[in-house]
């Protein structure tokens, strides 16, 4: 079904000046863009080409995180030295807390652990809604740092899902043991690959996204420029990580806090955002040799902090980071070392191709 959109309808659906919207429409009509919205799922690849813009559907700030996310009280699938606690426990133990413009998620930094007992308390949260075509803007002031840390902002199908990686995985922020730069990665089943050369700022690593290749390395792009991860990211006041997913591509951008080129709509959380005006992303994953309809289902966004585990805890990975002792011994016996092992979010903002999709169920129909 195709629904014509008039200026009056859309302007009334978005709490912003209709003059700004009119300028957006005028620009796109001038270049011949069809001013209609399709709710047919086959339109996934053309979602951002409607006006080249997305509309704010969720603005998650401070205490809003408690309404938009569920706490996953589960065993760590990556076998980290953590216990993921429920929401009540996270609040009681000060592992999550919020104020009007900040949400903090952290690991415990007080207990000395029994080597034969449970791991260090930590937190893993997942969005209540799932998303297909969308833009997500993560305004992050601080990310977890320290030896043994493995923080991540990523998306996948609703867990627990024993069929993973059916439905795919998109890693937006991920690294271990303070070792930058940040890496954006796709993980899929067999049959999804990326071209070696593509329009992006980052440096590609492996181009086969198949989780069975090279111990689930995935198709990775390491971000260029300074301050994309770890202590240098934090010392610089953080920055913005942004992902766009369509039926044609998945893109990830990063701007550090003091970057004069950060787009206005990203920096200030505008009700309308237009990724096509932002320039090359750090990571660009096209569907050229990867059928997104086959490999990527609707995704939930996950934010978590684990310690050691299948990546950060690998003996060679941990040792090459210059970290002391072994990962498990360090995590067990040095609680104060995790004083800086926390996320501080200024906001998470979700944009969708039309201003009314967030009233149509749990995920967009594009």
Taking only the tens place, the pLDDT of each residue in 173-220 is 999 999 999 999 999 999 999 999 999 999 999 999 999 999 999 999
Catalytic residue among 58, 72, 121, 169: 169
Residue-level pLDDT at 28: 39
Phi, psi (5° rounding) for residue 134? -170, 170
Q: Residue 307 and residue 311: Cα distance in Å, rounded?
A: 9
Residue-level pLDDT at 355: 64
Residue-level pLDDT at 15: 37
Phi, psi (5° rounding) for residue 208? -95, 120
Residue-level pLDDT at 365: 36
Residue-level pLDDT at 202: 98
**Is 174 tagged catalytic?**
yes
Beta partners for residue 59, in sequence order: 349
Q: 89: helix, coil or strand? A: helix
Q: 42: helix, coil or strand? A: helix
Residue-level pLDDT at 19: 34
Cβ(54)–Cβ(352) below 8 Å: yes
Q: Which residues, in sequence order, are CB contacts of 65 under 8 Å at separation 6+?
A: 96, 98, 103, 125, 345, 348
Q: Residue 30 and residue 186: Cα distance in Å, rounded?
A: 36
Structure confidence by residue, pLDDT tens digits, 74-118: 999 999 999 999 999 999 999 999 999 999 999 999 999 999 999
Query: If you write DSSP's letter for every residue of 272-305 in order, what string do you get?
Result: EE-GGGS---SEEEESTBS-HHHH---BEEEEEE
Residue-level pLDDT at 48: 44
Cβ(130)–Cβ(362) below 8 Å: yes
Residue-level pLDDT at 121: 99
- Nearest alpha carbon to residue 58 among 125, 137, 159: 137
Q: CA 311, 314, 319: angle at the middle one, nearest 5?
A: 120
CB-CB neighbours of 45 under 10 Å: 16
**Is 58 tagged catalytic?**
no
Residue-level pLDDT at 225: 87
Cβ(54)–Cβ(42) below 8 Å: no
CB-CB neighbours of 238 under 10 Å: 21
Residue-level pLDDT at 90: 99
Below-70 pLDDT ranges, the chain: 1-51, 159-162, 355-366
Cβ(349)–Cβ(137) below 8 Å: yes
Structure confidence by residue, pLDDT tens digits, 41-53: 333 334 444 557 9
Residue-level pLDDT at 30: 34
Count CA within 13 A, CB hemisphere, residue 123.
Answer: 32
Residue-level pLDDT at 51: 53
Catalytic residue among 72, 121, 174, 244: 174
> Where in 188-266 does DSSP place strands (E)?
203-204, 219-222, 239-245, 249-256
Q: 335: helix, coil or strand? A: helix
Count CA within 13 A, CB hemisphere, residue 274.
Answer: 15
């Amino acid at each position: 079904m195709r629904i014509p959109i008039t200026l009056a309808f859309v302007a009334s659906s978005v709490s912003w000046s209709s003059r700004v919207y009119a300028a957006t429409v005028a620009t796109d009509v001038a270049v011949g863009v069809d001013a209609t919205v399709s709710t047919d799922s086959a339109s996934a690849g053309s979602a951002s080409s409607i006006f080249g813009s997305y509309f704010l559907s969720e603005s998650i700030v401070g205490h809003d995180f408690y309404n938009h996310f569920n706490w996953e009280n589960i065993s760590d699938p990556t076998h980290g030295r953590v216990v993921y606690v429920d929401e009540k426990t996270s609040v009681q133990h000060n592992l999550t807390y919020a104020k009007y413009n900040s949400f903090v998620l952290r690991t415990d930094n007080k207990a000395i652990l029994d080597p034969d007992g449970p791991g260090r308390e930590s937190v893993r949260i997942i969005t209540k809604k799932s998303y297909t075509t969308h833009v997500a803007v993560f305004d992050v002031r601080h990310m977890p740092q320290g030896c043994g840390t493995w923080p991540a902002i990523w998306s996948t199908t609703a867990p627990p899902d024993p069929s993973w990686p059916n439905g795919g995985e998109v890693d937006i922020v991920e690294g271990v043991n303070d070792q930058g730069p940040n890496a954006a990665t796709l993980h899929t089943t067999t049959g999804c690959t990326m071209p070696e050369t593509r329009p992006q700022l980052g440096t590609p690593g492996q181009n086969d996204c198949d989780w069975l290749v090279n111990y689930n390395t995935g198709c990775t792009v390491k971000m260029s420029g300074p301050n994309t991860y770890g202590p240098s990211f934090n010392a610089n006041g953080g920055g913005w990580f942004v992902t766009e997913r369509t039926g044609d591509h998945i893109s990830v951008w990063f701007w550090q806090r003091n970057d004069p080129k950060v787009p206005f709509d990203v920096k200030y959380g505008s009700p309308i955002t237009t990724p096509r005006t932002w320039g090359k992303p750090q990571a660009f994953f096209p569907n050229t040799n990867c059928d997104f309809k086959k490999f990527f289902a609707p995704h939930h966004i996950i934010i978590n902090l684990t310690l050691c585990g299948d990546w950060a805890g690998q003996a060679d990975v941990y040792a090459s980071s210059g970290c002391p002792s072994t990962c498990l011994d360090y995590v067990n016996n040095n609680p104060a070392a995790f004083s800086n092992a926390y996320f501080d979010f200024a906001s998470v903002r979700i944009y969708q191709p039309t201003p009314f999709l967030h009233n149509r169920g749990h995920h967009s129909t594009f």
